[in-house]
């Protein structure tokens, strides 16, 4: 499985990466919303040239609070490019999200 992780906390990102790579998953980690969008766009270009109608990642794991672009902004940009992309939000700020 190919996974994109967008997480600004380096400790959390490393834990995700280690857990997934121990299970033989291919993991790309970025540390802010802009990097996450760029990594997704770059992977889309490669995927389109190799295979049609496929997502570049099996899943995208997004933090909600990210520098430059927040998780919602990243998710909107990704789903504009690929409405079928599976996205999981992982955050410690659930109350903030639910109250907005």
Which structural domain, as residue segments, surrounds residue 44? 2-24+31-56+67-99
Q: Domain for residue 38, yes or no?
A: yes
Mean pLDDT of all residues belonging to the chain: 89
Give 39-82 pLDDT, tens digit per residue: 999 999 887 655 555 789 999 999 988 999 999 999 999 999 99
Q: Strand, coil or helix: what is 68? A: coil
The residues, any chain, with a CB within 8 Å of residue 33's CB and separated by 6 or more, are 6, 66, 67, 68, 69, 70, 71, 73, 74
Percent above pLDDT 90 for the chain: 73
For the chain, the domain total comes to 1
Q: Domain for residue 62, yes or no?
A: no
Q: Domain for residue 61, yes or no?
A: no
């Amino acid at each position: 499985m190919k996974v994109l992780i967008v997480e600004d906390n380096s400790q959390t990102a490393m834990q995700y990466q280690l857990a997934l790579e121990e299970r033989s998953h291919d993991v790309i980690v970025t540390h802010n919303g802009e990097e996450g969008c760029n990594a997704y766009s770059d992977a889309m270009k490669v995927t389109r040239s190799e295979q049609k109608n496929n997502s570049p990642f099996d899943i995208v794991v997004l933090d909600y609070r990210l520098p430059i672009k927040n998780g919602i902004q990243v998710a909107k940009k990704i789903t504009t490019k690929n409405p079928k992309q599976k996205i999981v939000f992982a955050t410690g700020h659930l109350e903030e999200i639910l109250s907005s």
